[in-house]
Amino acid sequence: MDNLASQLQGLSLDSTTELPGLEDVYQQLVEVVQYPIVHVEAFRHLNIEAPKGVLLYGPPGVGKTRLVSTIASATNAALTTVQGPEIIGPYLGESEERLRAKFVEAREKLLKADVKASILFIDEIDSIAPKRQQGTQTNQASARLVAQLLTLMDGLESRGRLVVIGATNMPNVLDPALRRPGRFDREIHIDVPNQIQRRKILAFYTRKMTTNMLDLDILAEQTNGFVGADIAALCREAASNAISNRLLSKQSKAAVDYNDFKAAMKKVVPSTKRGLGIDVAQTQWSDVGGLEEVKLKLKQCVEWPLTRANTMKRLGIRVPRGILLFGPPGCSKTTLIKVIATQNKATFLSVSGASLYSPFVGDAERTLRELFRKARAARPSVIFFDEIEAMVGKRAMGGSGNADSVQERILSTLLNEMDGVEAADDVLVVGATNRIDMIDDALLRPGRFDRIIYVPPPDLQAREDILRIKTRSMPLDETVDIGGLARKTELFSGADIANLSREAAILALREGIDAQKVTMRHFEEALQAVQPSLKSDLMEMYRDMQSKYV
């Protein structure tokens, strides 16, 4: 027995070379498939039954199908594969007959002398065993197929030698009767690979490539949200890019370097971001004039949990769950978020009111839950809600009796996702608003939006910085006095200053198509046309908000 156990241990260690990043899951499957055979006397002595089934679930592309084929090959088990949709037949009872035939086929393989175990693998099991519901004829056909699968799994006689493995990326769609002990005894979750696992996967796919000074640690850090299939596609695109460069430069031998992977990242979209992808213009911290205190607070909340994670953990510092930026319109709140999206190494997801609202009841809440599910799968991640007050609103005291309020349902869903029973670690929610007074107080308490940051209008130094940023690509005449313009633009927001610079350039263009420079006179004329959007009464309102919420 000890000799067999040592052989099994050697098998479980040697066979993971084809499954980088899935070593733990592989070992769990080895226990289910091989332990009942190798340790059959121990099972009998302890009077326990071997597992009948295992359910593998996780996002698409993490390696569920590859894992099963590898485990079957490594353990010398006969593999019978069932593709969910191929079971469905057009005639009454045909689907159930096909399913029974697959179970018979898996049992017959056990009769071969060299086969000690048989695996029946049902891929995309959610397509043949969804939750049973009364209603249409389609639902009745599905219910009969689910009932047949339950009967077949309950009637397995070759227990310990025939194992049913199901794979799905939607476990909550499955009928609950399947997910009880005695059918699928064990459920194994395969998550999106973390940085260490991505490093192993990259090493696996680049092991036979000719590379040039390729740092896999940097690549693993920059491929957050990539699953195994995404990384395979990334390596393939990088190799194709290297070949194209070789043909253009007429080199004799192509070598893959970091630039090839950088080009490939523009083509390969991580699976966790598909359907939620946004195209954010590259923005640096230096593109935001002034707001040094706000920038520091954002770096502490967003960057430090990634770059100084060990230090924060050692000091017992809790990472904020949410950050809310509020302030007058045009004062760079969205621009600050663009910096976070492009400079931060976390997965960035954005949602707007237009994408959230739907004419169908429940669609908005489902979209929001799916957003958080993807964010948890691709953590660390940042979810951005722009104009958040328009999405969640504020509940009326005493109740309005309006049960149909979409805002209230979205608010309830957001409250549960941010601070509910389901863990949301490493998921940071960032909101931006001009009217914090229109946001429900339940969102503003610690544990949800922990940090409320006021983004003020630009002061004198900030206005000068913004003017320099907005005119750095503009040919300015030596008469242009940036400091003087900054003093003349009191109550101008950042957006107003950008508009002022654009108007001055247009005035120069109006004087002649061959205009070479923008002069101080053009800015003086532009000041007559562009009025500040921040009025005294508006700023008084924001001062009251600042004293109340910050």
* pLDDT digit string, tens, across residues 259-313: 999 999 888 888 777 655 555 667 788 888 888 898 888 888 877 776 777 777 7
| Strand ranges across the sheet with 78-83 | 78-83, 118-123, 162-168, 53-57, 186-189
Percent of the chain with pLDDT over 90: 8
5 pLDDT higher than 80: no
Q: What are phi and psi of 168, to 5 degrees?
A: -160, 155
Pairing of strands 427-433, 186-189: unpaired
- Specify the higher pLDDT residue, 322 or 44: 322
What pLDDT was estimated at residue 398? Answer: 53
Give the pLDDT band (50/70/90) at residue 11.
Answer: very low
Q: How far is CA 323 from CA 309, 320, 334, in A?
A: 18, 7, 13
Angle at Cα 78 formed by Cα 77 and Cα 83, nearest 5°?
A: 120
Whether 435 and 549 have beta carbons less than 8 Å apart is answered as no
Q: What's residue 424's pLDDT?
A: 58
Q: Which helix (H) or strand (E) holds 416?
A: helix 406-419
Residue 29: its pLDDT value, please? 83
* Per-residue pLDDT tens over the stretch 143-197: 888 888 888 888 766 555 788 899 998 888 888 888 888 788 888 888 888 888 8
Q: How many Å apart are CA 196 and CA 165, to the nearest integer?
A: 27
pLDDT at 401 over 90: no
The tokens of 510 are what? 């109006």
Q: Specify whether the CB–CB gap between 285 and 343 falls below 8 A.
A: yes
* Neighbouring residues of 461: CB distance < 8 A, sequence distance ≥ 6: 290, 486
| Band of pLDDT at residue 4, cut at 50, 70 and 90 | very low
Residue 123 phi, psi dihedral angles, 5° rounding: -85, 145
pLDDT bracket for residue 342 (50, 70, 90)? confident
Give bridge partners of residue 266 from the DSSP assignment: none
Give which of 512, 231, 452 is closest to 326, Cα–Cα: 452
The mean predicted confidence, pLDDT, of the chain is 81
Lowest mean per-residue pLDDT among 141-145, 228-232, 384-388, 505-509:
141-145
pTM of the model: 0.70
- Residue appearing with tokens 């007074």: 437
Among the listed ranges 137-141, 162-166, 173-177, 461-465, which one has the minimum average pLDDT value? 137-141
Mean pLDDT of 486-508: 90
Please, what is the Cα angle at 545 between 544 and 548, to 5 degrees? 90
Confidence bin at 202 (pLDDT 50/70/90):
very high
Q: What pLDDT band is residue 6 in, cutting at 50, 70 and 90? A: very low
Q: What is the pLDDT of residue 480?
A: 87
Q: Per-residue pLDDT averaged across 35-48, rounded?
A: 73
How high is the pLDDT of residue 422? 54
Poorest-confidence range of 78-82, 110-114, 537-541? 110-114
Mean pLDDT of 452-476: 90
Mean pLDDT of the region 219-242: 89
Report which of 333, 221, 341 is spatially closest to residue 278, judged by C-alpha positions.
341
**Residue that is written with structure tokens 């994670």 in the block:** 309
Partnered with residue 83 across adjacent β-strands are: 123
H or E segment and range at residue 200: helix 195-205
Q: How far apart, in Å, do the first and last CA atoms of the chain sit?
A: 68
Q: Where residue 326 falls among pLDDT bands split at 50, 70, 90? A: very high
Q: Establish whether the linkage from the previous residue to 90 is cis, with ω within 30° of 0.
A: no
Q: How confident is the model at residue 124 (pLDDT cuts 50, 70, 90)?
A: confident
pLDDT higher than threshold 50 for residue 518: yes
| Cα 148 → chain centroid | 37
pLDDT recorded at residue 448: 84
Dihedral angle over CA of 97, 100, 105, 109, nearest 10? -170
Give the pLDDT score at 251.
Answer: 67
Mean pLDDT of 229-245: 90
**Element (H or E) spanning 351, and its range?**
strand 347-351
